[in-house]
A and B are shown apart, each in its own frame.
Chain A
């Protein structure tokens, strides 16, 4: 629980550092990108703290390349 609060604290600190300047210059695209990244970052961090055994994104890679590997394995063995 404490760790989650710390992560949220970090996100808040980063927002406080980066967002005021961007707001002042009215760059809405930048704001959106920063907010998106912060959300992604927060979700990754909180997931990594709470749920220990979550699937890695590389499962995607495994799924894509599984048939390729099998094919090559058959050629070479």
Chain B
């Protein structure tokens, strides 16, 4: 085992919660609403159920080899050569995921808050913080997330409750204007987009202390995360209406700017941004960890800490290259990204499962 630290179940569930929300807080309302318009909240709730199924599948696959990470398990089940190819595919996925997260943070901060700061500086700072967190170790990341969770929840609750007075229920009508198909399409997005990317946590799951109820806890926590996302979409639709939600780059930030309690608690959007930074950071750290751990396990290294700095430079470069502009990843690549997520989170794990079952049967026979 390359990793000596161990996470407790509670720390792992907190990481799942924060990773599930991740960067979704910035782009989720816009993406889903462009599919199903004002029924996006229905899509989101339906998608939550689909997402839990996806999560269940991933957890089941992780239990095939309980003490091996995803990369190791793929090597074991698919064999050396096919396994390496599939692993390269996954490592590419983790790497692009991480660079996209860095890119999203950078775009968000430079277009909304720090208008004059160069993108590269934000990347550099964010990546340096991630490297510091990783050098501190997995246990430290777990403990920090446990401490950060109440802060995140507090900000999220303030966000939701301060906006409810401004909601206009007529924004949700008419229900099912375009029929059920767009809603289902939106539900497909809502189930894959947040939950599919949780596959990175399969690189961490072997290092969680084994306890009985871990599957149940994880499902409950993911349910909570999905509900929070649905709530955010609901608030966004209620307060802003469909068109503003679809056409705004960052609807949640725009919403935060609208918070106004008694003419005193206003213009607090910069402090709200802290919550978005916390969730995106948690997810980015996990993706970074998955990537370096995967490289170390694929090439058989003895120590993955030496890879953190080189991977930082790779991220620094790729964050700019990953997308030519904001619209690319908000609108253009979304369908293709969905399919990619689906492959990685559902199709390949299913194939893994089937292959493992077949191999066991053949071994049983012989």
Direct contact of A and B (CB under 8 A): yes
Interface residue ranges, A against B (CB under 8 Å):
3, 7, 10-11, 14, 17-18, 21-22, 27, 29-30, 33-34, 37-38, 40-48, 53-54, 56-58, 61-62, 65-66, 68-69, 76
Which residues between 284 and 310 of chain B lie within 8 Å of chain A, taking CB atoms?
295, 299-303, 306-307, 309-310
Name the segment of B1-9, B228-236, B332-340 touching the other chain: B332-340
Task: Report the nearest B residue to A51, measured CB to CB.
Answer: B321
Q: Is B311 an interface residue (CB 8 A)?
A: yes
A41: chain B residues at CB < 8 Å are: 310-317
Taking a contact as CB atoms under 8 Å apart, the answer to whether A68 and B339 are in contact is yes
Task: Report the nearest A residue to B100, measured CB to CB.
Answer: A58
B132: chain A residues at CB < 8 Å are: none
A-B contact pairs, 23 of them (CB 8 A): A3-B120, A7-B313, A7-B317, A10-B316, A14-B309, A14-B312, A18-B309, A21-B306, A29-B299, A33-B307, A34-B310, A41-B312, A41-B317, A48-B317, A48-B318, A48-B321, A54-B321, A56-B324, A56-B328, A58-B333, A58-B336, A65-B339, A65-B340
Taking a contact as CB atoms under 8 Å apart, the answer to whether B336 and A69 are in contact is yes
A56: chain B residues at CB < 8 Å are: 321-324, 328
Give, as a whole number of angstroms, the nearest-CB distance from B20 to chain A.
22
A17: chain B residues at CB < 8 Å are: 309
Q: Mark B313-355, 1 if CB is under 8 A from A, else 0.
A: 1111110111110001000010111011000000000000000
Give, as a whole number of angstroms, the nearest-CB distance from A5 to chain B.
14
B300: chain A residues at CB < 8 Å are: 29
Cα A27 to Cα B310 with chains together (Å): 16
Taking a contact as CB atoms under 8 Å apart, the answer to whether B321 and A38 are in contact is no
Q: Is B175 an interface residue (CB 8 A)?
A: no
Taking a contact as CB atoms under 8 Å apart, the answer to whether A18 and B310 are in contact is yes
A-B CB pair tally, cutoff 8 Å: 104
Taking a contact as CB atoms under 8 Å apart, the answer to whether A62 and B309 are in contact is no
Taking a contact as CB atoms under 8 Å apart, the answer to whether B313 and A10 are in contact is yes
Q: Is B96 an interface residue (CB 8 A)?
A: yes
**Chain A: interface secondary structure?**
helix
Categorize the interface residue count of chain B: 35 or more
Cα A44 to Cα B319 with chains together (Å): 9
Give, as a whole number of angstroms, the nearest-CB distance from A7 to chain B.
8
With A54-B321, A56-B322, A57-B321 as given contacts, are A37 and B302 in contact (CB-CB < 8 Å)? no
Cα A33 to Cα B295 with chains together (Å): 9
With A18-B310, A45-B317, A56-B322 as given contacts, are A61 and B299 in contact (CB-CB < 8 Å)? no
A62: chain B residues at CB < 8 Å are: 333, 336
Give, as a whole number of angstroms, the nearest-CB distance from A57 to chain B.
7
Taking a contact as CB atoms under 8 Å apart, the answer to whether B303 and A61 are in contact is no
Q: Mark B16-43, 1 if CB is under 8 A from A, else 0.
A: 0000000000000000000000000000
Taking a contact as CB atoms under 8 Å apart, the answer to whether A30 and B309 are in contact is no
Taking a contact as CB atoms under 8 Å apart, the answer to whether B313 and A38 are in contact is yes
A-B residue pairs, 3 tightest by C-beta: A44-B317, A41-B313, A45-B317
B114: chain A residues at CB < 8 Å are: none
Cα A59 to Cα B316 with chains together (Å): 20
Give, as a whole number of angstroms, the nearest-CB distance from A73 to chain B.
9
Give, as a whole number of angstroms, the nearest-CB distance from B348 to chain A.
14
Give, as a whole number of angstroms, the nearest-CB distance from B130 to chain A.
15
